[in-house]
Amino acid sequence: MRTKTDDQLSEALVDLKREAFNLRFQAATNQLERPARIREVRRDIARIKTLQGERTRTAEAK
């Protein structure tokens, strides 16, 4: 993920948030095939937000 550009990270974040939304609905209606996927998506979202924060802080430090 560190090799991706800021725009690619933002796009991936939007996609993951959309997937998390859909997974929540599937879980609510008991149609979820892989419950572990919710955790994976949440962690990927956290990874992207962490990278974005690091890049913002390094940009401000310059």
Residue 45 has a pLDDT of 98
The whole-number average pLDDT for the span 1-16 is: 96
The whole-number average pLDDT for the span 3-15 is: 97
Task: Return the ∠ at Cα 47 (arms to 44 and 52), rounded to 5°.
Answer: 130
The whole-number average pLDDT for the span 15-36 is: 97
Coil, strand or helix at 4:
coil
pLDDT at 62 over 90: no
Enter the CATH code of domain 6-61: 1.10.287.310
Residue-level length of the chain:
62
Residue 23 has a pLDDT of 98
Residue 10 has a pLDDT of 97
Residues 6 or more apart whose CB falls under 8 angstroms from that of 13 comprise: 45, 48, 49, 52
Query: Per-residue pLDDT tens for 40-51?
Result: 999 999 999 999
